[in-house]
Amino acid sequence: MTDLSIQQADWKKEKHAPVIEAPETVKAGEFFPVHLSIGKEIAHPNTTEHHIAWIELYFHPAGGKFPHQVAHLACSAHGESVAGANQGPAYTAPDFTVNVKVDQAGTFHALALCNIHGLWESSRAVQVEA
């Protein structure tokens, strides 16, 4: 069995931790933006050798047994090219906005994969008003 180590840290002090920006309170059944990024306070490299491959967003309803996947956002371009590393014509920034609606309070969890430093997780609670 493989040990799955998911690292956590304050995104203000760690360039790998996902940043989840969402309202603290939302209205039930109404869409609202959830912004996901990496490196808001400390820039993360976006190079062929060192990059964020993807970010996933989950919602775990309060009192619920399981989280539900909301989004899988891939960062597919990191300057790769037949000319060599970091010579390519395109780069993807790990910076996304997803519109979400929920009917009950819960917690958003974001996972991000750095190709060198593994999985990183952060979370943010959201309250729901009728």
Whether 41 is a known active-site residue: answer no
Cα gap 98→11, rounded to integer Å: 19
* Beta carbons within 10 angstroms of residue 118's beta carbon: 13
Whether 114 is a known active-site residue: answer yes
Q: What is the mean pLDDT of residues 55-71?
A: 97
Whether 65 is a known active-site residue: answer no
End-to-end CA distance of the chain: 44
Q: For all residues of the chain together, what is the average pLDDT?
A: 92
Whether 22 contacts 35, CB under 8 Å: yes
Query: pLDDT per residue over 8-50, tens digit each?
Result: 776 677 788 999 999 999 999 999 999 999 988 888 989 999 9
Whether 14 is a known active-site residue: answer yes
Q: What domains appear along the chain, each with residue ranges and CATH number?
A: 24-129 (2.60.40.730)
In this prediction the pTM is 0.90
Whether 75 is a known active-site residue: answer no
Inform me whether the pLDDT recorded for 106 exceeds 70: yes
- The percent of residues in the chain predicted with pLDDT above 70, rounded, is 94
Given 12, 27, 35, 50, the catalytic residue: 50
